Structure 1
């Protein structure tokens, strides 16, 4: 080794070197915008959208409030111009390489620097860059972005073909386009065009950050960290580093641990001018493994990868969770299994589907991302499915999933539609896929890349194939070829080339090629409860290998409704404002009413209806989750639809747009617990008691089944000592129901089930639908005690109180529990974090139970 290399390696071992050869400047100040055919310029925010800039300047009213969405449909028919000026110093101008980089342009955009066209963008999901060294000057650099109306760009494409691509959720009529569903022609978030839970707000804008990047010498453009083999004894790591070099260099390359400064590898390489790929192989003995939430610590290693020559250097730091993760899809005697295996352990996936947090994506803050992930972790979820009608999420989302042990099922951005996947469009998608697979592939949380949401089922099970064939068989043949080229060839090829360690799944749901999905193969979306009006109890009669969608609608609670429907005249679910915030239309409201009246008594007023509707949704999700978990071993996952909203609306979400937990979110916490006791009466007349154990060790404990009357008196008790196998579900106890009620009617009892091991796990079960149970109006007492960052409310009741709901004015209140069943002779403590003082809480605290809201 020559003296230069010795010096380089010595410096690597003794210090951390920041690159002094690169500058990165975010261009985020001084932006203004105007309507392209107008004259007036207004201040703009970048990142941002046209709609939010119009709102900030008082030109439009908040589209999320009242009926205001209708009044902004003109925005997407206009072209818009954004511009700013910026200066640079001589140090930057002297750099050999200067690029401008846009992390996101929405969507059809021409970018000019000092009146020279540098970028023509046509994909919201791609990053765009251009070499600008020859165009840059010291002062008054004019950066201008011309956004073409997506409606005006894509309407001619729709009109040019004799058939039309399915786009069932495109609310073209709300946008004044009649039946012209043009969303499939744009590589843009599908939900912007409307969905059955979202508004039609077709945005334009610089929606992610803009940077000026300047450097000399070498620049690391990518580090792909592959985990070739991982177990508890060793992790074999391969890093492929992409380095752009200005000239030929001899360089030293190394990777170190940022926490311990441990050196994993040093290597001497020869760089050639242009793009270089360097391979580093190293191993970690006895690695700390990354585990999903509930199974262990999601440990992250800090890998700092450096390239250094005698005149230049660069580095990248990554947080990597060392783990093995694969999808098991073997055929068995029943069909095809679908199970994620983490570090050699089969993992039952518990979680939800995730949509974008806002229609205006740039205003999703760090706090919003932190809250949604915390809210997943705090109800014992271990997986979120990033749904294909939204966006490939911000890096902040995946960083939080990595840090919190949340596995991510990642869809490509296609949903409930068919697409013109040929020619330039298909190549555009290929580049989009490369861009995002490379961006996300090092995240430990990424468990799966999925081609689309429900497109294959649409073709085979919803009648699309039949409809096209009846129009013209050649149309069907062409459209299906485009489908195969996109989802069976292009996307899996990208995953195989750029992230071969990650599984690709063609569609969700998917049970095989050549047909639609079914219950015994792969993953399944179950909507017979809700769309087909089957009763909530039907969840108990179903079996799936992995249920990746199911749900029940509810409205937000009253305090949230008042924020978008502020007039008392709006407080009817069929009012014009409430219907505008119910994108399933009157059909969805009728379904809510049908389920509600089948299960509960008619509520006495609007506020009570919102409360009972949430209770109904919670009961439905609890029933479904427990059913799926009881089938553990046959079924390996349950992901309900959905965890969040993009605007205030009636939907299937378990948290409303403002982040308030609905009843279903509170109830899912116990249903997703690592240990679940789940009683269920089966058609044989027996009460079967299941213990579901997600832990990796067997559990010894006592099962106790207490039958209580409505006054809380014990009618009967059955107990049994049991041993539950690790990572399994077991039917540990069963007995005839009627023989244990001691002559009481099943309408007059409640069952409290508990399993005591290292702690006590409980569940409450009723033998009848809520409307048939003889709930008496309870007297619930409360005591308020100042504790830490808020107040403890201590609750007691004299009668069984179903669905106890605590509320205060406004939405800035946080309850550790809500919508729970309170039994006599029990004390319940709920902690509240709130801006209110103790005397205000005492005056305002409202305590509601199911028996309080029935219409006389």
Structure 2
């Protein structure tokens, strides 16, 4: 029987320097469980919104303080042999007392705890008190104890087992919190219980199979009787006898004819109910576990070849070209993340044509809801172990915590067919090689033992059918630089940090697991969070919401010759959003043009956790930035792109669809006003999961006036690509190139646009009209004479013409029209 302890909690300040006007009001604040202290104080009206202006710094005292959570609950003896206090997640350094007796001291946010408490419970009222240490103070204390090791940013997050990004990152605030962040309750039971189930699926000689490992815990130390496991899946049943006190058993079940689970775009996401029951010798059910599983095989090919060494993800024998994004926690305050919020973010991934999310190592092991939604929708999951951008001690105390959390995470997540990669950590091996760590570390350990010993050993033991990578980036050889583009996985961060985005073409990467470019969030998101007067990209409150080192300076320099420097705040906002979208699209088009050498990319990043200028495609208020619209285009099943090759131009059509493509392409050179200056048509055949290269004829690739002409390749099947012989500021773009009108329609508004001349990257910034408005399309390039309709989802009663206002209906034209200079 489970007794949920979700109600009646209060939180109080134990030690810390609260503001004078708050100190007397922090004795018994109502607390929500699951929750964290920041959200409790916010709900009680005791602090301002941590996301607005410079509130982040003013709330530092919360994380520097110790806090006590307390509740009382009634208990009556159930007659069961065992009674456990089950805490699914405590954040982080906690002292747990039941009726005045210490039952646990915890130091790991990424673990759960099951604590026997039968002897401490009393009939009637019982008290539970959980006191949390300041995470900042504990991290500093542990760093002094373990030795100072390199880490990113200010706080020594690498000295404790708490989500690294909770201490601040270059896209996240420094709002380290404490609290009971996952459910907590009392579990009473007798006989035996199923402690864990690990279903290891595979497809062997075409036959779906699963080996089900079951761990059992017994209530009595010396049970007199045995038990039986009944395992059922896909119409097949197996019975396994357990002797008295036997703590584990396994059985293998073949399921011939059972449908396989496939990534999206490759087949159906069929799942089968796996039902495991633990029965007493008399047939009574002692414990029950059920979960939907999917039959699939997965492997990663990293074999050397003539061009380096590969990184190919293979599911059910099929190569999967990866179109993915890195995933960070969906909110700064993790208990606010729900299945509904996760569904919205995963829908953002699905509708931008992604097929993989990489759960990054500076965050958390996500909830069952996250992985279940990925299973359901065919989104592959690359799962980092939780280490990022730092050197980590390998002392016994920290090692044992890493081991415990890794065993728990791998055991919990083996049931999910979407999880296809376990990865040792983020940028730590690269950091050791390239970031001057060795001179700082001397003889101190730095985490290598986790990547080459502990984690691969746990994966081999508990999830041997899931591939493991030592790190990201990684070249799968001790004798090759870990970020070599010819081998394995690579991160590309000189673009954004130092060089223009055209340098993406300097690389021929086998697989890119991180790259990206910054841009501001939606206008309404900034207006909610930033209130500098006057509005200014370099205003003090804006810079609170720009966490990257010299981020706004890099944004300005990153414009290069691509777009003009903006001369107003609103133009800054649109220019930087547009440049972000173009930079990332430029990289992905180059990567895909290299297929089959390149096998995918994982952009940094899909989502945001608060209102911030960042690399995200979707901001924290769930506005899809122009980058999202760019990703939807370049991550489409079929991408047509024009690329320079050896002094000429080629058009590459990458067909990552399950069907072959037979089409005809029209190649033209045109004036910006629409005159066709040269044209050719040719048939094109592209096999499924393949690519073809079309040489652009000299008549199309040669230009008479680079400021007034462009090239286009348009397939009868709908794919389009454009090539410009000059950067936008040098083009004779016209800001009045669009005739636009808007009408109210069911569910929102329809914006009709007609191009008088070439229009580049036409976008409706709908949230400028109303914060709840969302445009369904963006970054449209229209040829002269073309007409398009952009649907806007918004509440009724708005003025339709507001969506065609020049502040709202934007394009590259209105930034670059030479008449506006």
Report the TM-score, using the length of structure 2 for normalisation. 0.93
CA contact (8 A) 1:34 1:82 kept: yes
CA contact (8 A) 1:290 1:323 kept: yes
CA contact (8 A) 2:757 2:785 kept: no
Q: Residues 230 and 798 (structure 1 numbering): CA distance in 2 closer, same or farther, change over 3 Å?
A: farther
The question of 1:125 aligning with 2:113 is answered no
Bigger mean CA offset, 432-441 vs 37-46: 37-46
Post-superposition shift, 1:50?
1.2
Q: Residues 671 and 818 (structure 1 numbering): CA distance in 2 closer, same or farther, change over 3 Å?
A: same
Q: Where does residue 658 of structure 1 map in the other structure? A: 621
CA contact (8 A) 2:537 2:572 kept: no
- Note the alpha carbon deviations across 1:645-695, whole angstroms, 9 max, x for none: 1211111111112121111110111101111111123341x2201110112
Q: Residues 263 and 726 (structure 1 numbering): CA distance in 2 closer, same or farther, change over 3 Å?
A: closer
CA distance in 2 between counterparts of 1:792 and 1:300 reads 40
The question of 1:217 aligning with 2:201 is answered no
CA contact (8 A) 2:197 2:411 kept: no
Matched residue SS, 1:478: coil
CA distance in 1 between counterparts of 2:379 and 2:571 reads 35
- Note the alpha carbon deviations across 1:461-485, whole angstroms, 9 max, x for none: 12222x23xxxxxx52332xx5232
Q: Where does residue 537 of structure 1 map in the other structure? A: 502
CA contact (8 A) 1:631 1:729 kept: no
Post-superposition shift, 1:447?
1.3
Q: Where does residue 81 of structure 1 map in the other structure? A: 68
CA contact (8 A) 1:801 1:850 kept: yes
Bigger mean CA offset, 590-599 vs 263-272: 263-272
CA contact (8 A) 2:378 2:418 kept: yes
Q: Where does residue 484 of structure 1 map in the other structure? A: 448
CA contact (8 A) 1:219 1:313 kept: yes
Matched residue SS, 1:74: helix
Post-superposition shift, 1:434?
0.5
Q: Where does residue 116 of structure 1 map in the other structure? A: 101
CA contact (8 A) 1:655 1:661 kept: yes
Q: Where does residue 183 of structure 1 map in the other structure? A: 157
Q: Where does residue 323 of structure 1 map in the other structure? A: 296
Post-superposition shift, 1:363?
1.1
CA distance in 1 between counterparts of 2:332 and 2:564 reads 36
CA contact (8 A) 1:812 1:835 kept: yes
CA contact (8 A) 1:451 1:491 kept: yes
CA contact (8 A) 2:168 2:174 kept: yes
Bigger mean CA offset, 321-330 vs 726-735: 726-735
Bigger mean CA offset, 339-348 vs 714-723: 714-723
Post-superposition shift, 1:742?
8.1
- Note the alpha carbon deviations across 1:241-290, whole angstroms, 9 max, x for none: 22234435454533335xxxx631131514413x5322222111233221
Post-superposition shift, 1:745?
1.2
Matches within 5 A, 1:75-224: 75-90=62-77, 93-160=78-145, 164-169=148-153, 171=154, 181-224=155-198
CA distance in 2 between counterparts of 1:96 and 1:712 reads 83
Aligned pair count?
798
Q: Residues 140 and 25 (structure 1 numbering): CA distance in 2 closer, same or farther, change over 3 Å?
A: same
The question of 1:598 aligning with 2:558 is answered no
The question of 1:346 aligning with 2:319 is answered yes
Post-superposition shift, 1:150?
2.1
Q: Where does residue 399 of structure 2 map in the other structure? A: 426
CA contact (8 A) 1:254 1:263 kept: no
Post-superposition shift, 1:368?
1.7
CA contact (8 A) 1:716 1:741 kept: no
CA contact (8 A) 2:751 2:804 kept: no
Q: Where does residue 250 of structure 2 map in the other structure? A: 279
Matched residue SS, 1:853: helix
Q: Residues 253 and 785 (structure 1 numbering): CA distance in 2 closer, same or farther, change over 3 Å?
A: farther
CA contact (8 A) 1:352 1:384 kept: yes
CA contact (8 A) 2:240 2:249 kept: no
CA contact (8 A) 2:703 2:725 kept: no
Q: Where does residue 522 of structure 1 map in the other structure? A: 488
Post-superposition shift, 1:815?
1.6
- Note the alpha carbon deviations across 1:152-209, whole angstroms, 9 max, x for none: 3233333356x6200122x2xxxxxxxxx43211101111121111111111111111
Of the candidates 624, 638, 651, which is equivalent to residue 689 of structure 1? 651
CA contact (8 A) 2:803 2:809 kept: no
Q: Which runs of 5+ in 2 are unaligned?
A: 16-22
Q: Residues 844 and 68 (structure 1 numbering): CA distance in 2 closer, same or farther, change over 3 Å?
A: farther
Matched residue SS, 1:350: strand
CA distance in 2 between counterparts of 1:269 and 1:70 reads 59
CA distance in 1 between counterparts of 2:702 and 2:596 reads 36
Q: Residues 437 and 268 (structure 1 numbering): CA distance in 2 closer, same or farther, change over 3 Å?
A: closer
Q: Where does residue 253 of structure 1 map in the other structure? A: 229
The question of 1:801 aligning with 2:786 is answered no
Q: Where does residue 237 of structure 2 map in the other structure? A: 265
Post-superposition shift, 1:391?
1.0
CA contact (8 A) 2:297 2:465 kept: no
Q: Which runs of 5+ in 1 are unaligned?
A: 1-22, 172-180, 469-474
CA distance in 1 between counterparts of 2:584 and 2:702 reads 31
Of the candidates 375, 381, 385, which is equivalent to residue 402 of structure 1? 375
Q: Where does residue 770 of structure 1 map in the other structure? A: 728
Q: Where does residue 50 of structure 1 map in the other structure? A: 37
